[in-house]
Amino acid sequence: MSDPISNPGSEQDRLIIFDTTLRDGEQSPGASMTKDEKVRIARALEKLRVDVIEAGFPIASPGDFEAVKAVAETVKDSTICGLARALDKDIDRAGDALRNAASGRIHTFIATSPIHMEKKLRMTPDQVVEQAVHAVKRARQFTDDVEFSPEDAGRSEIDFLCRILEAVIDAGARTLNIPDTVGYAIPHQFGQLIETLRERIPNSDKAVFSVHCHNDLGLAVANSLAAVRNGARQVECTINGLGERAGNAALEEIIMAVRVRPDLFGCHTRLDATQIVPCSRLVSSITGFPIQPNKAIVGANAFAHESGIHQDGVLKHRETYEIMRAQDVGWSENRMVLGKHSGRNAFRMRLQELGVAFASEEEINAAFSRFKDLADKKHEIFDEDLQALVTDATIDA
Ligand code: KIV
Ligand code: ZN
C-alpha cells in the first residue's frame, strides 16, 4: 500500500477544510465555551493547519463577539470566519469582530427551503433572493472573502437554488456553501445535487462549492464525501463531529478518508494529521463531551487489536489489519489489547517488552493458560496483571 499520508497534489485539487467546532460545534447543547477556551481550541486548529476557522456568531452575544475578535487577533495562519444572518446588523457585527484578522471571512446565510421560507421567515422567494444579494454586497464592504449559505439547501428546490446562487455570485460571494441543515440527504442524491448546481449555474466557476452536512441519519461524512466526489472543494466539519443535535461531519474522518483513498477523491488537504488526536482530546476536555471508544480515528479503540488472529496479523505485517498508522493521526502507537481473544504471540511479545524472560516453553504455556483464565473474568488485562501472572507461574513451577 502506498503511504497515504504524503499526498501533496496540485493547488487546484486542494480541499479546503473549514472547521466550525467553535460555531456549529458550540451549538451542541451543553458545549458552550468561554473566550479563552475558544482561543485555545483555535490555536490547536491553527496547528492542525485548518484553512478556515469559523470562530462564532458575533451577533449572538457580547461574549461571542469578543471570542471571535480574540481568535481573529491571535490566529494568523488560518482564515477566521464569523457567521451572520443576511441582516445588516449581523453583517456589521461580524465585520467589526474580524477587523484585526490577518485573513477574515464573513459567512452569511438565509433559508431557501419552502418550509423555512413560508413558516419561519414568512418571506416570498423573491424577497429571499433580494435579501441574500443585499447581504452579500454589504459583507463585501468588509472583506473580499464572502461565503453564502442557502440554509436547508438539502430540502430546497433545485431551480430556486440555482437562481439564488447565481445571483449571490454576481453580488460577490466567492464560496457557495450547500448545507444539509437537517441531515436529510442521502449520499448519491447529495453528490448529484452538487454536480447539478455546478453544471446549471452559468457563473459557477467563479466560486468554490462547499458542503456542510448534519448527522441526523448518521450520514454527514458520507454525504460530504459524495459531494467532494462531485466537485465540492470545501468541506465544513467539526472535531469529533460535535454539533447541533446529532452533530456535524467529523473533521478527522473526512481528512483521513481523502488521504487513505486518493484513488477515489483526487484531492488533498494541507492539514498536519498528526495534530488530530491532540486536537480531539482538547475539544473533548474543554466541552466535557467524551469520545466514544469505537469512534473512528480518535476513539481509544481505533487502533487497538484484541483478537489473536488480528494481533498475529499485525505483528507479522501492520497493514494486514490497519489502513492507517496510529502515529500519523497523533497516537503514540497502535495498541495490542490483551483480552480473552488474544493469542500467544501478542502475549509473549508484551512480556518481552516488560523485560520478562522465560526459561522454557513450558513456563510460557503455564503463564499463558493462567492469562486465559484471568481473561475470562476481566475485560482487559493490564501490565500489572501480567506481572502478577508471571510471578505466580514462577512460584508454582
Ligand atoms: O446547518 C446549517 O444550515 C448552518 C448554516 C448556518 C450554514 O449551520
Ligand atoms: Zn449547521
Measured CA to CA, the distance from residue 151 to residue 182 in angstroms comes to: 10
pLDDT average, residue stretch 308-322:
92
Distances (CA, A) of 308 to 341, 347, 348, 354, 386: 5, 9, 12, 19, 17
pLDDT average, residue stretch 378-394:
79
Lowest mean pLDDT among 221-225, 244-248, 302-306: 302-306
Task: Identify the residue with better confidence: 332 or 64.
Answer: 64
Torsion, Cα of 108, 42, 15, 332 (10° steps)? -150
The pLDDT value recorded for residue 383 is 86
Minimum CA distance residue for ligand 1 atom 4: 181
Q: 106 CA distance to ligand 1 centroid (A)?
A: 14
The pLDDT value recorded for residue 3 is 37
Q: 183 CA distance to ligand 1 centroid (A)?
A: 11
Residue 171 CA, chain-centre distance (Å), reads 30
pLDDT average, residue stretch 171-183:
98
Lowest mean pLDDT among 8-22, 35-49, 197-211, 360-374: 8-22
Q: What pTM value is reported for the model?
A: 0.91
Mutation to probe ligand 1, out of 112, 168, 212 (largest number of atoms < 8 A from CB): 212
User: What number of CA atoms fall less than 13 Å from residue 92's CA on the CB side?
Assistant: 3
Q: 179 CA distance to ligand 1 centroid (A)?
A: 6
Question: Which residues, in sequence order, are CB contacts of 2 under 8 Å at separation 6+?
Answer: none
> Quick one: cell of 80?
477566521
Specify the ligand 1 atom closest to the Cα of 236.
Answer: 7
The pLDDT value recorded for residue 4 is 35
The pLDDT value recorded for residue 395 is 45
Whether residue 380 has pLDDT greater than 60: yes
Closest CA to 35 of 289, 290, 276, 286: 286
Distances (CA, A) of 77 to 103, 182, 197, 384: 8, 32, 31, 45
pLDDT class of 11 with cuts at 50, 70, 90? low
In a 3-state reduction of DSSP, which class is residue 131? helix
Measured CA to CA, the distance from residue 342 to residue 237 in angstroms comes to: 37
% the chain with pLDDT above 70: 95
Distances (CA, A) of 217 to 24, 168, 170, 214: 17, 30, 35, 8
**Is 214 flagged in the annotation as binding?**
yes
| In the block, residue with C-alpha cell 495562519 | 77
Whether residue 9 has pLDDT greater than 70: no
Q: 359 CA distance to ligand 1 centroid (A)?
A: 65
Residue type, 204: S
Q: How is 160-225 classified by DSSP, letter by letter? A: HHHHHHHHHHHHT--EEEEEETTS---HHHHHHHHHHHHHH-TTGGGSEEEEEEB-TTS-HHHHHH
pLDDT average, residue stretch 307-312:
91
Measured CA to CA, the distance from residue 395 to residue 397 in angstroms comes to: 6
Contact 280, 239 (CB under 8 A): yes
Lowest mean pLDDT among 4-18, 196-210, 312-326: 4-18
Ligand 1 pocket residue status of 109, Cβ below 6 Å:
yes
Minimum CA distance residue for ligand 1 atom 8: 24
- Give the end-to-end CA distance of the chain in Å, rounded to a whole number: 46
pLDDT average, residue stretch 244-251:
97
Mean pLDDT, the chain, whole residue set: 93
Contact 376, 340 (CB under 8 A): yes
Q: 106 CA distance to ligand 2 centroid (A)?
A: 15
Minimum CA distance residue for ligand 1 atom 3: 181
> Quick one: cell of 299?
476513539
- pLDDT, tens only, 113-148: 999 999 999 999 999 999 999 999 999 999 999 999
The ipTM, to two decimals, is: 0.99
Residue 380 DSSP one-character state: -
Closest CA to 156 of 135, 129, 131, 174: 129
Ligand 1 pocket residue status of 181, Cβ below 6 Å:
yes
In a 3-state reduction of DSSP, which class is residue 95? helix
Residue type, 236: E
